[in-house]
Amino acid sequence: MMNEDFTFAIKTVRFDEHYRPADGTRITTNFANLARGEHRQDNLRKALNMMDARFNALAQADNPRGDRYALELDIVSVEMALSAEGGGDAFPLIEILKTTIVDRETNQRIEGIAGNNFSSYVRDYDFSVLLSDHNKDRQEFGVPDNFGDLHGKLFQCFLGSTAYKENFGKPPVICLSVSTNKTYHRAENLHPVLGVEYLQDEPSLTDQYFSKMGLRVRYFMPPNSVAPLAFYFVGDLLSDYTSLELIGTVSTMEAFQKIYRPEIYNANSAAARCYQPKLKHQDYSLTQIVYDREERSQLAVKQGKFAEEHFIKPYQPILDRWAASYTL
């Protein structure tokens, strides 16, 4: 195992109404995208208020006024330093969010879940450059050999690193939108925080990609939500985390999904027992948060090409050798 060939450095910055993205931040990330343009501060304030309101709606015990809790969010940026053979250059590998729950009644600060949002230049490269190039002039959609292998091994290397273990007490939970290419079926399983479980028989490409990161997936539609979310995790999602930890993830990521995928997560009717999400769904409401949707969709390609130019191509031999010899 060659974990020590790469080292990881973690930087954190508070995500609040004063947040301004750093130069190396992927500007398509949920948090960075809101913090651009003339509406930046208003966007951030409204998004954070949405999260706090949703948290208190889910955490009703001993919370009669619905204002006991507040969420604090930290953006966690992970840089990977290549070995001496690679010149010691650092590359911005991933960004995630870390939640902290503030109990206003007891003045207690409760550590939340790391993960939540997930942003990755290499993932942008895989989906927006490599996958796109592979399917040019093809009549049927296909996936390149070993698609996601490098990214998955880099992520698992990070989870096993000293940097991760020193900063986080539990494995991450990543929460994303469900796939618009799959159909989900409501099950009988009901969780007090995560809500009703949905099942589907055929993993999406994203599910397969995240499985190479060592993550399993389950789909739940939280109470009073209108669509299921996909939760990617290590271990046991239902027993490894407290109710407050899970509420922090749901309230954070549901707010982002309502903003960026209102056709699904801010629809005016809830998902049926047999449900296929549709981005062309017309019966939905927009939030009061303003951003450029078209620009956001185009930026992933630009950032995928950035990863190709500054990481994949310059270090391809090193990365190939490392991935071939890396074992868990």
Chain segment 113-131, per-residue pLDDT in tens: 999 999 999 999 999 999 9
Which one is predicted more confidently, 25 or 110?
Answer: 110
Is 241:113 a contact under the CB 8 Å cutoff? yes
- pLDDT at 17 > cutoff 80: yes
Q: What band does 1 get if pLDDT is binned at 50, 70 and 90?
A: very low
Give the mean model confidence (pLDDT) for residues 215-244.
Answer: 98
Buried b / exposed e across 38-48, counting CB within 10 Å, b at 16+?
eebeebbebbb
* DSSP result, 153-199: HHHHHHHTSHHHHHH-SS--EEEEEPPTTS-EEEEEEEETTTEEEEE
Strands 195-199, 7-15: pairing kind? unpaired
Is 234:213 a contact under the CB 8 Å cutoff? no
281 vs 289: CA distance, rounded Å: 20
- pLDDT at 182 > cutoff 60: yes
262 vs 97: CA distance, rounded Å: 21
pLDDT at 23: 60
Instruction: Give per-residue pLDDT as tens, 194-212.
Output: 999 999 989 999 999 999 9
Instruction: Give per-residue pLDDT as tens, 73-107.
Output: 999 999 998 864 444 578 889 999 999 999 999 99
- What is the chain's mean pLDDT, rounded? 90
Give the mean model confidence (pLDDT) for residues 287-315.
Answer: 83
- pLDDT at 328 > cutoff 90: no
Is 105:238 a contact under the CB 8 Å cutoff? no
pLDDT at 86: 43
* DSSP result, 70-108: EEEEEEEEEEEEPPGGGTT-EEEEEEEEEEEEEETTTTE
Nearest to 176 by CA among 213, 141, 150, 142: 213
pLDDT at 35: 67
Report the 10 Å Cβ neighbour count for 241.
22
pLDDT at 36: 67
Nearest to 91 by CA among 301, 326, 312: 312
Q: What band does 65 get if pLDDT is binned at 50, 70 and 90?
A: very high
179 vs 196: CA distance, rounded Å: 17
From the CA atom positions of the chain, what is the Rg in Å? 20
Give the mean model confidence (pLDDT) for residues 213-237.
Answer: 98
pLDDT at 16: 86
pLDDT at 166: 96
Instruction: Read off the DSSP letter of residue 237.
Output: T
Instruction: Give per-residue pLDDT as tens, 236-250.
Output: 999 999 999 999 999
Strands 90-103, 195-199: pairing kind? unpaired
Percent of the chain at pLDDT above 90?
Answer: 74
pLDDT at 60: 95
| Contact residues for 253 (Cβ-Cβ < 8 A; gap 6+) | 116, 117, 175, 176, 229
